[in-house]
Chains A and B, each alone.
Chain A
Amino acid sequence: MSAQISSAPPGAVDKAGEREPLLSIRGLRVGFRRAGNQFEAVRGIDLDVAKGEVVGIVGESGSGKSVGMLAALGLTSKNAVVTGSVRFNGDELVGKPAREMRKIRGARIAMIFQDPLSSLNPVMTVGAQIAEAVRLHQRVTRKQAMARAVELLHLVAIPQPERRVNQYPHEFSGGMRQRAVIAMAVANDPDLLIADEPTTALDVTVQAQILSVLRSLQERLGLGLVLITHDLGVVAGHADRVAVVYSGRVVEQAGVSELFADPRHPYTRGLIASIPNLEESRERLFSIDGSPPALGRLPGGCAFHPRCIYAEARCRTEDPPLHDIGGRFSACHFATTLPPFHSAALAAASLDSGSVAP
């Protein structure tokens, strides 16, 4: 574990100006035991989030990005084993008693989830659910809590909040439900908001609205915001810093412009190259060969090597740690020696090699 800590990125501290980060995750591991088998969904995540900073966590489904954040909040299921360190305002959260975690959840750290259709309770009015969030953490009357709920619905730009507050979730559209969920999350003026794929289940036009609501709230309330997504477009438009997660580990972490201009991990390069581009006409979209390894059946060495076009013998035996490469971090043996990045060239090279390889 000490190796994990020494390799941890103090990036956020640099960026936010020598401040103690709001959230500081070191060597976070989450293991599950199921029917005698044990496997790790998260194999060491290091991440800092400063006050008022937007951090994007990018990765494929099943890469462990959501589980990691759930574990940080103590929301994983009973059979999960969480180790490592999660510090929030200097306060260690891993191993904290459930009663104390409840005082932090929803009050200081809020979390919203992917599917607004199912993240509201269908048999309670939207207002009652927001008021509940208020009353769980503030000593106010039912009436005051409902008034606050109306105010919050107004804050997330829901029209006619006085009427809407007494409606049930099924009377709300998908986008409005996600707004209501956001309203509920910021009910107690938290310091940190973790949004787990907040727009994935929504129409494209609604996605943009939800993201702008999130961003304006983040700026107005000075929230730290963690955006978990598999959509690089969302990250490019909204995050200050990005952590790329692959099979349970952060493989690259950098400022958003650095990351897109010059990715220093082959997986990140693959991700960026597979974004559709209007300017360059290509017949086929680039895709990374192969599929992510199944949990519990990781390849030896670097977890990405079977799919990596730069892989060498060393990659099969030695798992590279996340290391500092000048204010940013990469977990690749060749982080500093990778050829200059050009997404079209990478795509072309890969397609060529793909046609040659048996």
Chain B
Amino acid sequence: MPFLVLGIVTIAFLITTVTKGDPLTAIVAEQQMSNPEVVAAAKARWGLDRPLPERYMIYLGNLLSGDLGTSFITKRNVGTDILYRLPATLELVFAAMIFGTTLGIVLGVLAAYFRNSLIDHGARLFALFGSSLPVFWSGLGLLFIFSVMLNWLPGPGRVDARLALPLGITGFLTIDSLLAGDWTVFKDALWHLLLPAFVLGWTVSGTISRLVRANMLDVMSREFVLTARAKGASEFRVVIVHALRNTMVPTLTVIGYSFAYLITGAVLTETIFSWPGMGSYAVEAARALDFPAIIGVTIVGGLAFLVTNLITDILYVVANPRVRLS
């Protein structure tokens, strides 16, 4: 695990150095680029005049003390920027995963149980649209329908800008407002969260529902399902307690993977819904060749994968007693 982290850091660092773009364009104003004094001063200020290995060692040293460097653009510490952005993304991703897994599992189970029925075909279509419709299409479409036409849900953004926000502990607006007992903010944040979370969850639910369906069909034909029926268990019990639990291992893999992916991969959704999260931060950083920010986002994304993989592995043991021995 520590080696993996070091690897991520190193690769993220190296990638930025091999790109053709010159970070100076981000730092120095265009008309000043011809002024060698300004350029040299900027280079010295940001350490760009030093050789690559030295820069790498300095970066690693800073990283060890928790310093991710200073953003070229915001001139703030990247760590501070990320700490501000990450909770927004996590809140969105958690909500999306709640939508995605619930919808995916329920639809997968129903599709398998009522195989080749209208429910099965409907679930297949829903999954197909979910995983193949680009988010900028479904997101904009749903925004148009629910926000513009019906006016049921608020437009883009995390919360109404006119509201005074409670002091954050978790950075999750819904949880912070609940903790502060501020119902107005809670309701507003929840309504804002609903649509982007659904759009993002929809894409995930497609994969999960197909996977759950396939595994359920396999499990439902095993003899222990017949045994459970022969015991006198109800169909609900047979399906949920006996069959579904046996499909949880492959499902957990996909859930874990999707979760990690969404933390950095929610770019489009965050852009469309003006969500101030990691995805939009990454886009801004990339556009401006803001290398410290890019490396910071990459490291956080890599860590997200490592952490979710670890959690998934731990959950495997809970879901599957057969791995407990080894």
> Is A bound to B?
yes
Binding site for B on A (CB under 8 A): 73, 75, 98, 102-107, 110-115, 118-125, 132-133, 136-137, 168, 170, 181, 184-185
Check B224 against A73 for contact (C-beta < 8 Å).
no
Q: Identify which of B229, B245, B248 contacts A75 (C-beta below 8 A).
A: B229
CA distance A113 to B234 in the complex (A): 19
Dominant SS among interface residues on chain B: helix
Shortest distance from the beta carbon of A52 to any chain B beta carbon, whole Å: 21
Check B224 against A121 for contact (C-beta < 8 Å).
yes
Residue interface mask B244-277, A partner, CB < 8 A = 1: 0110100000000000000000000000000000
Given A122-B322, A170-B321, residue A137 in contact with residue B224 (CB < 8 A): no
| Interface presence of B118 (CB below 8 A) | no
CA distance A119 to B321 in the complex (A): 17
Q: Identify which of B226, B233, B321 contacts A132 (C-beta below 8 A).
A: B233
* Closest chain B residue, CB of each to CB of A114: B223
Shortest distance from the beta carbon of A110 to any chain B beta carbon, whole Å: 7
B contact residues around A104 at 8 Å (CB): 232
Check B227 against A75 for contact (C-beta < 8 Å).
no
Given A122-B246, A123-B245, residue A103 in contact with residue B232 (CB < 8 A): yes
| Interface presence of B228 (CB below 8 A) | yes
Check B227 against A113 for contact (C-beta < 8 Å).
yes
Check B322 against A105 for contact (C-beta < 8 Å).
no
CA distance A275 to B224 in the complex (A): 33
A contact residues around B223 at 8 Å (CB): 113-115, 118-119
* Closest chain B residue, CB of each to CB of A105: B232
CA distance A132 to B245 in the complex (A): 15
Shortest distance from the beta carbon of A311 to any chain B beta carbon, whole Å: 38
* Closest chain B residue, CB of each to CB of A70: B226
A contact residues around B235 at 8 Å (CB): 98
Known: A103-B232, A110-B231, A118-B224. 6 other contacts (CB 8 A): A75-B226, A102-B234, A105-B231, A112-B227, A118-B223, A123-B321
Check A121 against B228 for contact (C-beta < 8 Å).
yes
Check B224 against A120 for contact (C-beta < 8 Å).
yes
Specify which of B223, B227, B229, B231 lies most central, judged by the most chain A CB atoms within 10 Å of its CB: B231
| Interface presence of B124 (CB below 8 A) | no
* Closest chain A residue, CB of each to CB of B245: A123
Q: Identify which of B231, B246, B319 contacts A136 (C-beta below 8 A).
A: B231
Check B222 against A111 for contact (C-beta < 8 Å).
no
Interchain Cβ contacts within 8 Å, total number: 75
| Residues of chain B at interface, number, CB under 8 A | 21
B contact residues around A114 at 8 Å (CB): 223
CA distance A124 to B233 in the complex (A): 15
* Closest chain A residue, CB of each to CB of B114: A78
Given A121-B246, A170-B321, residue A73 in contact with residue B230 (CB < 8 A): yes
Specify which of A73, A114, A120, A132 lies most central, judged by the most chain B CB atoms within 10 Å of its CB: A132
* Closest chain B residue, CB of each to CB of A194: B230
Check B224 against A111 for contact (C-beta < 8 Å).
no
Check A106 against B232 for contact (C-beta < 8 Å).
yes
Check B232 against A168 for contact (C-beta < 8 Å).
no
CA distance A106 to B238 in the complex (A): 14
* Closest chain B residue, CB of each to CB of A136: B232
CA distance A239 to B308 in the complex (A): 58
Shortest distance from the beta carbon of A178 to any chain B beta carbon, whole Å: 12
Q: List 20 A-B contacts (CB under 8 A).
A: A73-B230, A75-B226, A75-B229, A102-B232, A102-B234, A103-B232, A105-B231, A105-B232, A118-B222, A119-B227, A120-B227, A121-B228, A121-B245, A121-B246, A122-B224, A123-B320, A133-B231, A136-B232, A136-B233, A184-B231
Residue interface mask B208-229, A partner, CB < 8 A = 1: 0000000000000011101111
| Interface presence of B242 (CB below 8 A) | yes
Check A102 against B246 for contact (C-beta < 8 Å).
no
Check B230 against A123 for contact (C-beta < 8 Å).
no
CA distance A184 to B226 in the complex (A): 13
CA distance A184 to B232 in the complex (A): 12
Check B222 against A168 for contact (C-beta < 8 Å).
no
B contact residues around A181 at 8 Å (CB): 227
Check A105 against B227 for contact (C-beta < 8 Å).
no
Residue interface mask B33-75, A partner, CB < 8 A = 1: 0000000000000000000000000000000000000000000
Specify which of A121, A125, A181 lies most central, judged by the most chain B CB atoms within 10 Å of its CB: A121
Shortest distance from the beta carbon of B227 to any chain A beta carbon, whole Å: 5
Residue interface mask B287-326, A partner, CB < 8 A = 1: 0000000000000000000000000000000011110000
B contact residues around A123 at 8 Å (CB): 245-246, 248, 319-321
Check B242 against A170 for contact (C-beta < 8 Å).
no
B contact residues around A184 at 8 Å (CB): 227, 231
CA distance A122 to B228 in the complex (A): 12
A contact residues around B245 at 8 Å (CB): 121, 123-124
Given A113-B226, A121-B242, residue A170 in contact with residue B322 (CB < 8 A): yes
Shortest distance from the beta carbon of B173 to any chain A beta carbon, whole Å: 38
CA distance A122 to B243 in the complex (A): 10
Given A118-B223, A121-B224, A121-B242, residue A132 in contact with residue B231 (CB < 8 A): yes
B contact residues around A103 at 8 Å (CB): 232
B contact residues around A102 at 8 Å (CB): 232-234
CA distance A170 to B320 in the complex (A): 11
Shortest distance from the beta carbon of A170 to any chain B beta carbon, whole Å: 5
Shortest distance from the beta carbon of B316 to any chain A beta carbon, whole Å: 11
Shortest distance from the beta carbon of A106 to any chain B beta carbon, whole Å: 3
Check A107 against B226 for contact (C-beta < 8 Å).
no
CA distance A183 to B234 in the complex (A): 20
A contact residues around B321 at 8 Å (CB): 122-123, 125, 168, 170
A contact residues around B226 at 8 Å (CB): 75, 113, 119
Shortest distance from the beta carbon of B9 to any chain A beta carbon, whole Å: 39
